[in-house]
Amino acid sequence: MTARDEILGRVRAGVGKEDFAARRAAAEAYMAARRRGPQPVIGGELATRFRAKAESLSSTVEAVAEAGEVPAAVARHLQQHGLPSSGVVTSDVAAFDWASSGLQLSPRPAVDSDLLGISGCFCAVAETGTLMLLSGPETPASVSLLPETHIALVEVSRIVATMEDAFALLRSERGSLPRAVNFISGPSRTGDIEQTIVLGAHGPCRVHLILIGA
């Protein structure tokens, strides 16, 4: 007997029920209902909440009124913090006029030596101050992972209240899941040496968010 058959046999014996087809139909119905658990009450403006939560998770946030201001805001931030002005950008936000603000960005996946990665996001979650990024040909996951500095552009209209709302948006706009959905909440961190929190474990050491349309 194969391992699969033997394990499933044990599971069936443990479950101790017949009528597989009826139970399977019930499971399908349960999934289709997309029932939500207890939902948080997110009061006030979603953008305000998102910003406060993101900052509490050690991201820095700047709000700009419109998309045209983004390259200058990014350049200013990098200069203020003495950070390199060249790196990689995901294709979905490559069309900004980065060069006019003195930024040299290549629309490609990141490699080890890239120090700056700029990405958009699919949407953002106000409840936890979290970015939701989808992997794809236009949006390689490495851009938000390998460089020490990750800058993400967040349109205020794309901030939803909860993770459930983000999933609903994903289903309605994309239908199915990409290879990787990455929820990102601030710079990478570890507490593995004497429970002391250090930012910049394996992923970015700093995450800066530009809120567009605030």
Which tokens sit at 197? 């929190």
Other beta carbons within 10 Å of 160: 21
Residues 30-49 that bind another protein (CB under 8 A): 30-31, 34-38, 40-42
Judged by CB under 8 A, does residue 135 bind another protein? yes
> Side chain identity at 167, as an amino acid letter?
F
Let me know: does 155 contact 212? Beta carbons within 8 Å. yes
Question: Applying CB under 8 A, does 108 fall inside the site for another protein?
Answer: yes
Residue with tokens 């474990």: 201
- Which CB atom, from 66 or from 175, has the smaller least distance to another protein? 175
Q: How far is the CB of 75 from another protein (least distance, A)?
A: 26
If binding is defined by CB under 8 A, does position 72 make contact with another protein? no
Cβ atoms of 78 and 113 closer than 8 Å: no
- Regarding 18 and contact with another protein (CB under 8 A), the answer is no
195 sits near another protein (criterion: CB under 8 A): yes
Other residues' Cβ atoms within 10 Å of the Cβ of residue 163:
14
Select the residue interacting with another protein from 82, 112, 172, 175 (CB under 8 A): 112
CA atoms within a 13 Å half-sphere pointing along the CA-CB vector of 54: 30
Give the range of 70-78, 97-105, 139-147, 151-159 binding another protein by CB under 8 A. 139-147
Regarding 60 and contact with another protein (CB under 8 A), the answer is no
Of residues 155 through 174, those in contact with another protein by CB under 8 A are: 162-164, 167
Give dist(CA 44, CA 16) in Å, integer: 49
Please list every residue from 73 through 102 that binds another protein, using CB under 8 A.
none
23: enclosing H helix or E strand: helix 20-33
Helix (H, G, I), strand (E, B) or coil at 8: helix
Bridge partners (DSSP) of residue 134 are 181
Q: Please, which residue, 82 or 137, has the CB nearer to another protein?
A: 137
77 or 108, CB closer to another protein? 108
Q: How far is the CB of 64 from another protein (least distance, A)?
A: 25
